[in-house]
């Protein structure tokens, strides 16, 4: 197998979408270019469409829209057996009625290769996965790890242009998984074959890949090298999914200056003054110090020993900050928090809205603004209706318990009005921040209940003004939190 | 915990007791009686005359051959009809799969004699006189009767077949026909064997079908019946015993084959 180092694209997915028969969109507008010899990983939680995308490349599934180019040729209508692509299946899918030799030789025999060649190639494939002499074993006598290796050998013996791996290590124990990760990576470097790998394990993706495609709900969230994805996550989903992280909503207060958690921090990202942002801080980048030295102060609420480090949770005001440190902290003690500028990653927040999460009381009245809001729950739960006894029943006839309902209330900043008249609105609070945004001011109002509201207003108000917030009922948007 | 596991152990033995009793009364005891009668004569003296008599009589040997013939043809016809039906049912993407399966199973809900009587009427209309084609009529009757027993185990095996294996075969370069020949068919062997069992053995002995379709020839079942109606308990017992041994040999052979071929992933409605 000759190693081609040319940067030629082997497979291109252009605007690929896949809609199931029931109308569910599993993959939406997927665009990806894979270079020859690359190790690409699709990473995302289960149900994000990563396996469906892989199945479309293998040919088991057909895109409803878009182009799928292999070496520049559209292969949408090519059946799997005609594609120079082989797959390592999640549950191995070894043939139970064939022994190891016949399993590996399956593809070669179909191609009617000479017997001598088949024997030689199977032997070499077994050597590659460190299972020499296993030819006559039956599949039932192999351990999970051995079956995994046979599955890899069975795919690689056909010398595919692309090897697809669908969560191949999912069924192995931790130690075996780590070993196989390294072996697969070595194999990839040795053979020069393009690997497309699917996993939900972020650590696995970071260890093995040249390129990671982070997916969520059928859409690509970010494509980049492991370093890019880890250090510069594009949005809150990626930051949250890749490793543990603290995400704070905040605002840019100047060049290389950002304000969150009630304090101003230096950062290395140059984002326009006044932009609403999410700041991502990795737990290992948070430094615990004495209260007087810290940028912000807080109280340690929990300390958990994790082997290499302690995981310390600090409560500062309303914000919880997770810290990883090799130094132990005492639960209940007051500490200061420092964050180096390099440790703060700024993500520009997309369409800022005020979100309030709340529940309902026994009578299904919203626990927000003392139930003054008329929220029709039957519209939020499709097919649901109120019974004569006052209980809410869903489309399947099951009762929805009021305690289990979580409602997200969204209010756009420009639909809130501020007033001097304390009785005019239902919420009252102080203006704690204001930024001029060119055509309007963006204010942050902290209410007496300690909730922060972002309000857009064309008029100028002063810091620390005590105002009441008038929110027209029709501007409330409700959604059920799953 | 200790007392609980003791209680469980005890209850297992107790639970097995009713069936154990049943086994002794209705399986073991009759078997001993059959063996006793098979090797004795009218005076209760040991003899192997019954055995030699069976193999020396052209009538009994002829009946054995005829029974085998009927059973082999019936089983083959059932298999040829049942496999495609089971395959389409298991693989196809029908909205009302269970309803379609029910159509094939439903004849089993109707009384056996009633079914054969109906068949007899239909065959009479087609053939005029049933005695013209005794062998054909018997095979039709038995196929009609035993087909569901062939469909069900094959259907179950095909349904349980891991779809990933079919995708794996296709991934490795097999087209639809090759995938069927190299993966689907070998893996459905346990179901086929279960089906053969449930059809082959009854069709060797079920002489009611013959009787009702006016087939005057004998199969093994009718032969035993004839001996017993003539009060020849000894000859009848010997034939029963020989049939038992044939079935035993047959079971052992296919069992070994099924074990070798399907490994641990066996299917079918009979699990032995």
What digits encode the pLDDT tens for the residues B237-266?
999 999 889 888 888 887 765 554 443 333
Instruction: Tell whether A81 lies on the interface with B, counting CB pairs under 8 A.
Output: yes
Instruction: Tell whether B43 lies on the interface with A, counting CB pairs under 8 A.
Output: no
- Mutation target to probe the A interface, by most A beta carbons within 10 A, among B173, B190, B266 is B173
pLDDT over 70 (residue A120): yes
Identify whether the C-beta of residue A259 lies closer than 8 Å to the C-beta of residue A248: no
pLDDT over 80 (residue B25): yes
As a whole number, mean pLDDT of residues A167-183 equals 86
In whole angstroms, what is the distance from residue B61 CA to residue B242 CA? 11
pLDDT over 50 (residue A134): yes
CB pairs under 8 A between A and B: 71
Name which of B170, B178, B186 is nearest A97 (Cβ-Cβ): B186
In whole angstroms, what is the distance from residue A200 CA to residue A167 CA? 8
Question: For residue B168, which residues of chain A lie inside 8 Å, CB to CB?
Answer: 87, 89, 93-95
In whole angstroms, what is the distance from residue B213 CA to residue B121 CA? 10
pLDDT over 70 (residue A3): no
Instruction: Tell whether B204 lies on the interface with A, counting CB pairs under 8 A.
Output: no
Question: CB neighbours of A199 closer than 8 A, spacing ≥ 6?
Answer: A41, A42, A43, A167, A169, A170, A205
A395 sits in which H/E element: none
Question: A75: which DSSP letter?
Answer: -
pLDDT over 50 (residue A2): no
Q: What is the mean pLDDT of chain B?
A: 84
Identify whether the C-beta of residue B66 lies closer than 8 Å to the C-beta of residue B219: yes
Question: For residue A139, which residues of chain B lie inside 8 Å, CB to CB?
Answer: 263
pLDDT of residue A152: 93
Question: For residue A85, which residues of chain B lie inside 8 Å, CB to CB?
Answer: 171
Expressed in angstroms, the distance from the first to the final Cα of chain A is 50
- Mutation target to probe the A interface, by most A beta carbons within 10 A, among B167, B168, B183 is B168
Rounded to 5 degrees, what angle do the CA atoms B52, B53, B56 make?
Answer: 80
Question: B28: which DSSP letter?
Answer: I
Question: CB neighbours of A385 closer than 8 A, spacing ≥ 6?
Answer: A378, A392, A393
pLDDT over 80 (residue A455): yes
pLDDT over 90 (residue A22): no
As a whole number, mean pLDDT of residues A156-162 equals 93
pLDDT over 60 (residue B270): no
**pLDDT band (50, 70, 90) for residue A42:** very high
In whole angstroms, what is the distance from residue A47 CA to residue A262 CA? 37
pLDDT of residue B177: 94
Give the three-state DSSP class for A385: strand
A217 Rama class: left (phi>0) / alpha (psi -120 to 50) / beta: left
B7, B8, B13, B44, B144 from B3: Cα distances, Å:
6, 9, 16, 54, 54
Instruction: Tell whether B182 lies on the interface with A, counting CB pairs under 8 A.
Output: yes
Lookup: tokens for B128: 């005029």
Q: Which residues pair with A67 in a beta bridge?
A: A14
What would the pLDDT profile of A56-90 be if each residue is shown by its tens digit? 999 999 999 999 999 989 999 999 999 999 999 98
Taking each helix axis as running N to C, give the angle between helix B220-229 and helix B189-205, from 0 to 180 degrees, rounded to the nearest 10.
30
B103 Rama class: left (phi>0) / alpha (psi -120 to 50) / beta: alpha
pLDDT over 90 (residue A93): yes
Question: For residue A148, which residues of chain B lie inside 8 Å, CB to CB?
Answer: none
**pLDDT band (50, 70, 90) for residue B5:** low
Q: Which residues pair with A313 in a beta bridge?
A: A302, A322
pLDDT of residue B132: 80
Residues 44-73 of A with CB under 8 A from B: 58-60
pLDDT of residue A438: 61
Higher-pLDDT residue of B219 and A56 is A56
In whole angstroms, what is the distance from residue A322 CA to residue A307 CA? 16
**pLDDT band (50, 70, 90) for residue B100:** confident
Question: CB neighbours of A192 closer than 8 A, spacing ≥ 6?
Answer: A1, A2, A3, A4, A37
Q: Is A1 exposed, middle or buried (0-12, 13-18, 19+ CB in 10 A)?
A: exposed
Give percent of chain A with pLDDT exceeding 70: 95
- Mutation target to probe the B interface, by most B beta carbons within 10 A, among A51, A52, A110 is A110
What would the pLDDT profile of B41-65 be if each residue is shown by its tens digit? 888 888 888 888 888 888 888 888 9
Listed range (A158-167, A401-410, B40-49) with the worst mean pLDDT: A401-410
What would the pLDDT profile of B159-182 be if each residue is shown by its tens digit? 999 999 999 999 999 999 999 999
Question: For residue B261, which residues of chain A lie inside 8 Å, CB to CB?
Answer: 97
pLDDT over 80 (residue B3): no
Question: CB neighbours of A444 closer than 8 A, spacing ≥ 6?
Answer: A251, A431, A432, A433, A434, A452, A453, A454, A455
Which of A381, A373, A408 shows the shortest CA–CA distance to A397?
A381
Identify whether the C-beta of residue B195 lies closer than 8 Å to the C-beta of residue B78: yes
Alpha carbon of B64: minimum distance to chain A alpha carbons (Å): 36
What would the pLDDT profile of A230-253 be if each residue is shown by its tens digit? 888 888 788 878 878 888 878 888
DSSP B229-258: HTT-HHHHHHHHHHHHHHHHHHHHHHHHHH
Q: What is the mean pLDDT of chain A?
A: 86
What would the pLDDT profile of A298-347 be if each residue is shown by its tens digit? 999 999 998 889 999 998 877 889 999 998 888 999 999 999 998 898 88
**pLDDT band (50, 70, 90) for residue A447:** confident
- Mutation target to probe the B interface, by most B beta carbons within 10 A, among A51, A58, A87, A95 is A95
**pLDDT band (50, 70, 90) for residue A21:** confident
Instruction: Tell whether A158 lies on the interface with B, counting CB pairs under 8 A.
Output: yes
In whole angstroms, what is the distance from residue B214 CA to residue B221 CA? 15
Listed range (A276-285, A423-432, A472-481) with the worst mean pLDDT: A472-481
Identify whether the C-beta of residue B118 lies closer than 8 Å to the C-beta of residue B107: no
Listed range (A251-260, B13-22, B246-255, B261-270) with the worst mean pLDDT: B261-270
Interface contact flag, B173 A140, Cβ < 8 Å? no
Higher-pLDDT residue of A351 and B269 is A351
pLDDT over 70 (residue A167): yes
Identify whether the C-beta of residue A282 lies closer than 8 Å to the C-beta of residue A273: no
Residues 104-123 of A with CB under 8 A from B: 106-107, 110-111
pLDDT of residue B151: 92
Q: Which residues pair with A45 in a beta bridge?
A: none
pTM of the model: 0.71
pLDDT of residue B47: 87
Question: CB neighbours of A291 closer than 8 A, spacing ≥ 6?
Answer: A297, A334, A335, A336
pLDDT of residue B173: 93
Question: What residue in B sits closest to A61 (Cα-Cα)?
Answer: B167
Q: Which residues pair with B191 in a beta bridge?
A: none
Listed range (A69-83, A219-233, A259-273, B25-39) with the worst mean pLDDT: A259-273
pLDDT of residue B217: 76
Interface contact flag, A95 B183, Cβ < 8 Å? yes
Which of A145, A144, A125, A143 shows the shortest CA–CA distance to A135?
A125
As a whole number, mean pLDDT of residues B113-128 equals 88
């Amino acid at each position: 197998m000759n190693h081609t180092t040319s940067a030629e694209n082997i497979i291109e997915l252009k605007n690929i979408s896949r809609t199931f028969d029931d109308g569910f969109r599993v993959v939406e507008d997927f665009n990806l270019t894979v270079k020859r010899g690359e190790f690409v990983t699709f990473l995302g939680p289960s149900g994000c469409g990563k396996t469906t995308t892989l199945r479309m490349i293998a040919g088991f599934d057909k895109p409803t829209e878009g182009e799928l180019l292999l070496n520049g040729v559209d292969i949408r209508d090519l059946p799997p057996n005609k594609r120079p692509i082989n797959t390592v299946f999640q549950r191995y899918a070894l043939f139970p009625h064939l022994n190891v030799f016949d399993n590996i030789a399956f593809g070669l025999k179909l191609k009617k290769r000479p017997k001598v060649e088949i024997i030689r190639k199977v032997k070499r494939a077994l050597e590659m996965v460190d299972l020499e002499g296993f030819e006559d074993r039956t599949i039932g006598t192999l351990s999970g790890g051995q079956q995994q290796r046979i599955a890899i050998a069975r795919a690689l013996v056909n010398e595919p242009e692309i090897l697809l791996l669908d969560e191949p290590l999912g069924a192995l124990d931790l130690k075996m998984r780590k070993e196989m990760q390294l072996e697969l990576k070595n194999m990839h470097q040795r053979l020069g074959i393009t690997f497309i790998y699917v996993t939900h394990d972020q650590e696995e993706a970071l260890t093995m890949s040249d390129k990671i495609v982070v997916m969520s709900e059928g859409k690509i969230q970010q494509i980049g090298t492991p370093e890019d994805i880890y250090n510069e996550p594009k949005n809150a989903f990626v930051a949250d999914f890749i490793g543990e992280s603290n995400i704070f909503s905040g605002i840019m207060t100047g060049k290389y200056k950002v304000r969150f958690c009630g304090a101003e921090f230096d950062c290395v990202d140059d984002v326009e003054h006044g932009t609403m942002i999410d700041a991502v801080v990795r737990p290992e980048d948070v430094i615990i110090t004495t209260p007087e030295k810290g940028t912000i102060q807080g109280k340690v609420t929990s300390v958990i020993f994790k082997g290499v480090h302690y995981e310390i949770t600090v409560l500062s005001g309303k914000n919880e900050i997770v810290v990883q440190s090799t130094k132990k902290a005492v639960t209940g003690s007051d500490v200061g928090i420092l964050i180096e500028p390099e440790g703060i990653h700024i993500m520009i927040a997309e369409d800022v809205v005020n979100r309030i999460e709340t529940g309902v009381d026994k009578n299904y009245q919203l626990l927000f603004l003392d139930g003054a809001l008329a929220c029709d729950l039957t519209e939020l739960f499709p097919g649901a209706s109120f019974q004569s006894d006052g209980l809410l029943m869903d489309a399947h006839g099951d009762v929805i318990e009021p305690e289990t309902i979580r409602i997200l209330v969204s209010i756009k900043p420009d639909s809130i009005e501020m007033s001097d008249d304390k009785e005019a609105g239902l919420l009252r609070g102080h203006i704690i921040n204001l930024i001029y945004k060119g055509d309007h001011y963006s204010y942050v109002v902290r209410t007496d209940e300690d909730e922060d509201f972002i309000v857009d207003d064309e008029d100028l108000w002063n810091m620390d003004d005590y105002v009441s917030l008038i929110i027209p009922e029709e501007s409330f948007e409700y959604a059920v939190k799953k | 915990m200790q007392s609980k596991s003791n209680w469980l152990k005890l209850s297992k033995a107790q639970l097995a007791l009713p069936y154990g009793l049943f086994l002794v009364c209705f399986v073991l005891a009759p078997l001993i009686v059959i063996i006793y009668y098979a090797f004795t004569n009218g005076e209760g003296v040991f003899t192997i005359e019954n055995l030699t008599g069976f193999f020396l009589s052209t009538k009994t040997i002829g009946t054995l051959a005829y029974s085998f013939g009927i059973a082999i043809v019936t089983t083959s016809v059932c298999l040829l009809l049942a496999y495609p039906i089971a395959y389409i049912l298991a693989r196809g993407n029908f909205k009302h799969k269970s309803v379609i399966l029910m159509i094939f199973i439903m004849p089993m809900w109707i009384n056996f004699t009633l079914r054969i009587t109906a068949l007899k009427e239909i065959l009479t209309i087609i053939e005029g006189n049933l005695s013209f084609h005794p062998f054909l009529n018997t095979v039709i009757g038995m196929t009609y009767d035993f087909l569901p027993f062939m469909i069900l185990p094959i259907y179950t095996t095909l349904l349980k077949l891991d779809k990933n294996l079919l995708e794996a075969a296709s991934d490795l370069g097999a087209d639809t026909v090759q995938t069927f020949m190299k993966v689907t068919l070998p893996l459905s062997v346990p179901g086929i064997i279960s089906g053969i069992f449930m059809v082959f053995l009854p069709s060797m002995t079920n002489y009611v079908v013959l009787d009702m379709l006016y087939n005057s020839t004998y199969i093994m079942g009718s032969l035993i019946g004839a001996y017993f109606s003539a009060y020849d308990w000894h000859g009848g017992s010997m034939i029963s015993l020989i049939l038992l041994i044939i079935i035993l040999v047959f079971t052992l052979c296919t069992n070994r084959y099924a074990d070798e071929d399907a490994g641990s992933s066996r299917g079918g409605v009979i699990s032995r």
